[in-house]
Every structure is written in C-alpha cells, then in structure tokens.
Amino acid sequence: MRQSRKDHREEDEKKVLSELMKNSKENIETIAKHCGFSRQKAWRIIKQLETDQKIWGYSVALDNEKQDLEKFMLFVKRTKTQHNQNDIDEIVQNLLAAVKKDLGVTVISSYFIHGEYDWVLIFTAKDIRDAKKFSETMMLKFPGKQLVHISQILYTVRENYIRNPNILTMKEFI
C-alpha cells in the first residue's frame, strides 16, 4: 500500500525532530545527512515545524552545579478558590517574574498536571533556603494554594532529551 503525502511528511518531520532533540545546535548539513535529506529539504521542514509551532524554541542543558545552583521541583496543590484575573495573568504570562527576580530563582519548566498535585515547577536556586523562600512567597502571593511540597533534584540523568555527559558521577547516588 502506498503512503499518503501526509504520512510521508509526518515521517520526515519525525526524523528531523529526532535529530534536533539530540542536538538542536547541530548544523543543517549534518541534520540533513543523518535524515537522508538534502540541506534544503531539512531546512524547509524545520521552518515549517517552527511556523506550525511544533517547535516552540531551542534550549540548552546546563550543568547547574558548575554555576553554584541547585535544582528543585515545587509541587503545588490548589484549593477550589478561583484566582483573580491579575494573578492568573501573572502565573500564565510572567511566570512569577517579580518573585523570581528578588530571590534569584530561575524557573526552568512549569507544568499544569492531573494527579495529586495541580502544578509542578522545576527551578534553580542558590540553595534550599532560597527555594523555601520562593515556596513561601508563592503561598503568600497566591493564597489559593492548599499544599506546597519541595523536592531537591540530586542528579540529572537526562534533560531536554540529552544524557548527562557526567553520568558516571551518578554512581555515588545509587
């Protein structure tokens, strides 16, 4: 059975996305070579993925330890109380910019989830004290939170599809 044009395009997109996830900094020629495409075809696929917003942006995987930062996960359970529109806008659009700036916190990822908690933030801070201040500030700023839990990430095995190059140092945690 012959593949449809749409199926073929989706397969080509998957090949390019797979290469971009391995190393988004790779040049077009190398991506094209790994996919079996011409440079122009790979470039067109990437541009179309960006236009369709299947690619939101490009990122790097950082070694936080070398920057004297610790990584944390903040789990938030909210009450049934609705937030006012200003709070919603700040959460959705600014990712708590004012709170983060004062504490030197960088939010890496933010997820609205289904399960025991409603929201998960992954962020970096200088230490557990700053992470705790961030958590407490959020509780005060947005009182509709019922429960907040912080976990410190001890070791990153894989981030943004990239395996930690210092994987052997994880042995001390096992």
User: Considering the domain 5-51 in this protein, what is its CATH number?
Assistant: 1.10.10
Structure tokens at 99: 């709170």
Looking at the chain, the domain(s) classified CATH 1.10.10 span 5-51
How confident is the prediction for the chain on average, in pLDDT? 85
Looking at the chain, the domain(s) classified CATH 3.30.70.920 span 64-159
- 122-164 pLDDT tens trace: 999 999 999 999 988 878 777 766 788 999 999 888 887 778 8
| DSSP state letters, 9-30 | HHHHHHHHHHHHHH-TTS-HHH
Mean pLDDT over residues 42-64, rounded?
Answer: 89
- 84-125 pLDDT tens trace: 777 666 666 666 666 667 788 888 888 989 999 988 999 999
CATH 3.30.70.920 fits domain 64-159: yes
- 6-25 pLDDT tens trace: 788 999 999 999 999 888 88
> pTM here?
0.75
CB neighbours of 147 closer than 8 A, spacing ≥ 6?
A: 76, 77, 117
Q: 136 vs 34, 79, 82, 90, 122, CA distance in Å?
A: 48, 16, 19, 17, 16
